[in-house]
């Protein structure tokens, strides 16, 4: 549904020299896939979203959405794509949710009767029914974001581009909104999801693209990205006899610490991990945990951005 090939976008930089916000970025997104675009501030995520939604022209390279080139067929692309932005832009606070949606439907040239039915359907689907006729300026961040999503879904697009859609929401609203994204995914909508939130990416995305300074550094399933991490695993166990601690200390590649029977072992690879676990199980130690690397470790390993708070 999305094909991006060597996409490049320059902005004027210092002394008139071009500065690359995107450099030779290539990837594809299949129908029904949720691709997470993850990267620090200034990585180029918004630039890419804007090109795909025909709001910005690339300097070179190509991008197609639902088979239509974004430069040659922008109207067709717009018909197939919905854009959901984070933040407070884009809604009329003094209008109700329904009036906002009526307005956007009219701008898109939708027939009134079709628009009315579609708006009622979206209001129900997105949990807005109780507040549909209240002014949007009285809405919480999470409710306003649902109106943004309804607006993007008016023309039933097959592709949604979401730029940090849960930014600024409280945790409860985030859970509800992510549930909506999951529903859309299950209904076959293709989603490009820009996010800073590693947990969100891991929860929602079938694949994740890591982008930094305009370059695509890695693309893969969360499992594939995790498999490539060399972060040490940590085994912890309780009530471990001193003799067992001593025998573990003899395993090459295991760094053992122990205090009052509470054991912590750092291991470098899966073979050492298996040996440590086998020794503990043979000694009938059952209270143990293994901390797996998570996306934060992948991120740290791939992107060296000090400003990005994990």
Ligand X SMILES: Nc1ncnc2c1ncn2[C@@H]1O[C@H](COP(=O)(O)OP(=O)(O)OP(=O)(O)O)[C@@H](O)[C@H]1O
Q: Rule CB under 6 A: say whether 44 interacts with ligand X.
A: yes
Q: Which of 47, 64, 145, 202 binds ligand X (CB under 6 A)?
A: 47
Least Å from the CB of residue 89 to ligand X: 13
CA distance 269 to 263: 18
Neighbours of 257 (CB within 10 A): 12
Residue corresponding to tokens 């610490």:
257
Residues 6+ apart with CB under 8 A from 39: 45, 210, 211, 212, 303
The footprint of ligand X on residues 13-32 (CB under 6 A) is: 21
Q: Rule CB under 6 A: say whether 39 interacts with ligand X.
A: yes
Least Å from the CB of residue 54 to ligand X: 16
In the numeric block, which tokens belong to residue 101? 């949606």
Question: Angle, nearest 10°, between helix axes 171-186 and 141-153?
Answer: 20
Q: Rule CB under 6 A: say whether 45 interacts with ligand X.
A: yes
Buried b (16+ CB within 10 A) or exposed e, 49-70: bbbbbbebebeebebbbbebeb
Stretch that binds ligand X, among 39-47, 107-115, 260-268, 299-307 (CB under 6 A): 39-47
Q: Which of 2, 4, 35, 43 binds ligand X (CB under 6 A)?
A: 43
Least Å from the CB of residue 7 to ligand X: 12
Least Å from the CB of residue 94 to ligand X: 28
Q: Which of 29, 36, 46, 279 binds ligand X (CB under 6 A)?
A: 46
Do 221 and 36 meet the contact criterion of CB atoms below 8 Å apart? no
Q: Which of 5, 30, 31, 41 binds ligand X (CB under 6 A)?
A: 41
Do 189 and 160 meet the contact criterion of CB atoms below 8 Å apart? yes
CA distance 182 to 73: 29
Q: Rule CB under 6 A: say whether 166 interacts with ligand X.
A: no
Q: Rule CB under 6 A: say whether 42 interacts with ligand X.
A: yes
Binding site residues, ligand X, CB under 6 A = 11, 21, 39, 41-47
């Amino acid at each position: 549904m999305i094909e991006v090939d060597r996409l490049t976008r320059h902005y004027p930089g210092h002394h008139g020299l071009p500065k690359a916000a995107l450099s030779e970025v290539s990837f594809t997104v299949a129908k029904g896939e949720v691709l997470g675009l993850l990267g620090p501030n200034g990585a180029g995520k918004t630039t890419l979203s804007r090109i795909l939604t025909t709001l910005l022209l690339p300097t070179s390279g190509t991008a197609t959405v639902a088979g239509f080139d974004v430069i040659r067929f922008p109207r067709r692309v717009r018909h197939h794509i919905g854009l959901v932005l984070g933040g407070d832009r884009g809604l009329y606070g003094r209008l109700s949710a329904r009036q906002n949606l009526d307005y956007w439907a009219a701008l898109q040239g939708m027939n009134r009767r079709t628009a009315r039915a579609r708006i009622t359907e979206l209001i129900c689907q997105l949990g807005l029914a109780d507040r549909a006729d209240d002014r949007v300026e009285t809405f919480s961040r999470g409710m306003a974001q649902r109106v943004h999503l309804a607006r993007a879904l008016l023309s039933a697009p097959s592709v949604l581009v979401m730029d940090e859609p849960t930014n600024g929401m409280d945790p409860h609203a985030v859970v509800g909104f992510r549930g909506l994204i999951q529903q859309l995914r299950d209904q076959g909508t293709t989603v490009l999801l820009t996010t800073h939130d590693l947990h969100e990416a891991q929860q929602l995305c079938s694949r994740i693209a890591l982008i930094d300074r305009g370059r695509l550094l890695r693309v893969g399933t969360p499992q594939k990205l995790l498999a490539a991490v060399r972060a040490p695993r940590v085994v912890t166990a309780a009530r471990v006899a001193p003799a067992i601690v001593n025998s573990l200390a003899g395993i090459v590649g295991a760094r053992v610490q122990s205090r009052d029977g509470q054991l912590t072992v750092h291991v470098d690879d899966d073979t050492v991990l298996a040996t440590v676990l086998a020794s503990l199980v043979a000694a009938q130690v059952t209270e143990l945990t293994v901390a797996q690397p998570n996306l934060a470790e992948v991120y740290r390993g791939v992107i060296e951005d000090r400003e990005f708070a994990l």
